[in-house]
Amino acid sequence: MMQPHSLVPVPAGFEASDGAPFVLSSAMGIDGDPDAATTLAALVEARTSLSLDGESRIHLRIARGGPAESYELTVDAASVVISSADAAGLFYGVQTLAQLITREGSDWIIPAVRITDAPRFAYRGVMLDVARHFFGVDTVKAYIDRAAGLKFNALHLHLTDDQGWRIHLNSRPKLTEVASGTAVGGDPGGFYSKADYREIVEYAASRHMIVVPEIDLPGHTHAVGLAYPELVEVPVITDHMLEIVRDYGGEVPTAGVPYDGMAVGFSSVRVHDEATYDFIADVFGELAGMTPGPYLHFGGDEALGTDPADFALFVERVSELIADLDKIPVAWHEVGAAGGLHPATIGQYWGFVTPADGMDDKARAFVRGGSKLILSPADAIYLDMKPTSDFALGLTWANGVTSIERAYAWEPSTVIDGIDDSDILGIEAPLWTETVRTQGDIDALAFPRIAAAAEAGWSPATGASDLRTWESFRERVGALAPLWTSLGIEFFRSDDVPWVVEPSAE
């Protein structure tokens, strides 16, 4: 019996048949939901060069009543049918179908199968840091396509940091006028106009993804000080920060001078100045009107230049401000240390798979307050970590090299004691960009480890399926090489994966 050797993330239910496969040809066509049909036609053409414009043999149907984002896919020699509870489920069924296409001699075939599928977690995110290095709209759209093809449904954009401010706001135009032009290593910066941001949001929505914008506060705010020096404190220079400067280069940050290094934790807004909260109200108020998704992320990480009592006061006020905008606040797990945090705030855990330094206690605070967690353990799911020790891109601070196997091996329900699936909103795979400059760099670091993150977010829990194993995953992800190649993805061909080389037509 055939196993789903090319499906990532592995579906909840998979039944293979001994029947004849469905043979694709340009004499057949697609009917049903027009958006899903357009997506499928484009994937088939990219994979096979076939244009499907004949008699309808592939049927795409929305049948209300099932779980959100779920779908069923049935293939036999005569037809292909995908039915789903909603448009998102139909889109994901189309992605699964594209993964099943394979060459057999001179034919393109889809094996006879029946798949029933639904996601484990509601939130399945990727994060792109556009502050350390800036990426234009086309690159962001390409990343959306890549992530959506693996059934991710959220794009977290890290829009601000010490190195630059990347979103234009009419209420505070100086931010992009004077604080957007630099990036790590002295590279050029950039920013998104309101039209650019709208284009990204709309494109994501067409792929059934929301955009989660992040304005990182109260630290990571050196760029704010370039535009509004009266709102920020003097940089706090610590021995740890000087170690980062020594190890990674760059200058020690200076007030009022653009920063292009990699140190963190030295900047802070002025917590006791009401002008700071006027600024934040302007920023998040305008951003809320630009963002149809439910979440606004206000950072809260590595605020080493902010007194703990001041930090608690700050996150209490900012989380309340965001909630008053009818948005759900999201913040990194450090914010869990603040007692007055708005109870709706979602925590994002970036500690290790085995928590250290009380990071798990801070994460549990969100659940005690009645909210949930997004899990992003840095030593498993940070896509910017080096996949091998000699890899040209990436860093190693998260417990060293993050191999593909290590990226796959973690189980969300066991990271934090006392936290199970009911407490977890989902997972997110961040890609920080200190060493990343191009679309090819993004691909090389993200793929194939992004597929491991996709499986952690979508598929049954480890142990709940015979296919949720490293040995199964490495075979399945290796079988995606022809599809990824046809889609122009410049993935890292790790020796840990048996990459399939598709035979030419006979």
pLDDT score of 13: 96
Catalytic residues: 302
Contacts of 390 (CB under 8 A, 6+ apart): none
Instruction: Indicate the CATH number for domain 13-118.
Output: 3.30.379.10
pLDDT score of 64: 81
Contacts of 1 (CB under 8 A, 6+ apart): 16, 18
DSSP 345: P
Model pLDDT for residues 395-444, shown as the tens digit of each residue: 999 999 999 999 999 999 999 999 999 999 999 999 999 999 999 999 99
pLDDT score of 245: 87
Model pLDDT for residues 279-293, shown as the tens digit of each residue: 999 999 999 999 999
* Omega of the bond leading into 448 within 30 degrees of 0 (cis): yes
Structural domain boundaries of the chain?
Answer: 13-118, 123-458
| Spatial distance between the Cα atoms of 238 and 463, rounded to a whole number of angstroms | 45
Query: Which two tokens mark 47?
Result: 């994979």
Angle (deg, nearest 10), helices 308-324 and 274-290: 40
| Spatial distance between the Cα atoms of 301 and 36, rounded to a whole number of angstroms | 39
How far is residue 187 CA from its own chain's centroid?
Answer: 24
What's domain 123-458's architecture?
A: Alpha-Beta Barrel (3.20)
pLDDT score of 1: 38
pLDDT score of 3: 63
Mean pLDDT for each 10-residue chunk of the chain (506 residues)? 78 94 96 97 97 94 92 97 97 98 95 97 98 98 98 98 98 98 97 98 98 98 98 93 87 95 95 98 98 98 94 98 98 94 97 96 96 98 98 97 98 97 98 98 98 98 94 97 98 97 74
DSSP 407: H
pLDDT score of 472: 96
